[in-house]
Amino acid sequence: MKFIEDAHKGRGCVFCGRRRRKTEVGSRKNLILYFGEFCFVMMNKYPYNNGHLMVIPYAHKSEISDLNAGVQQELIYLTGESVRILKKVLRCAGANCGMNIGKVAGAGIANHVHMHVVPRWQGDSNFMPVIGNAKSMPEYLKTTYKRLKPEFDKLGVVKNATFQGVVKNA
């Protein structure tokens, strides 16, 4: 965590800086898989498990309650689609999805709320992170990116009107 925090000191929000690079090269370099109307999906550069994704609103807010209903709906929709894609491509058996809201809750980037989507396989949790303070990653990030990207490309941009109910603009 110290490494992550020190790497981003004085650079502003790591998420806001990365999402502005909507070019193909910029997206690949920053491990961004998808740009939606209100949120984007990005691979975690410091993953808990292979395929660890984050669904991140464009709006720079520290609380989920500060996001309007349209942003919240897309956030949940993209979380579900991320799980579906991870199960299809990486063949994971399940997923952990969650947010750490606030530093006290363990948020590494507390000022920009985001959803973690962590694929899980039977027996994937072992002693390495606890005893050896190390993680075992079976595949390079760029390789996983290349496997996941075509499935995210199939989503297209989901417009707010797709969601049921009336939602105000972001």
Question: Could you list the active site residues?
Answer: 114
Q: Are the C-beta atoms of 71 and 38 separated by less than 8 Å?
A: yes
| Segment 88-94 long-range contacts (CB within 8 Å, at least 24 positions apart) | 88/151, 89/51, 89/147, 89/148, 89/151, 90/50, 90/51, 90/119, 90/144, 90/147, 90/148, 92/51, 92/119, 92/120, 92/121, 93/120, 93/121, 93/122, 94/119, 94/120
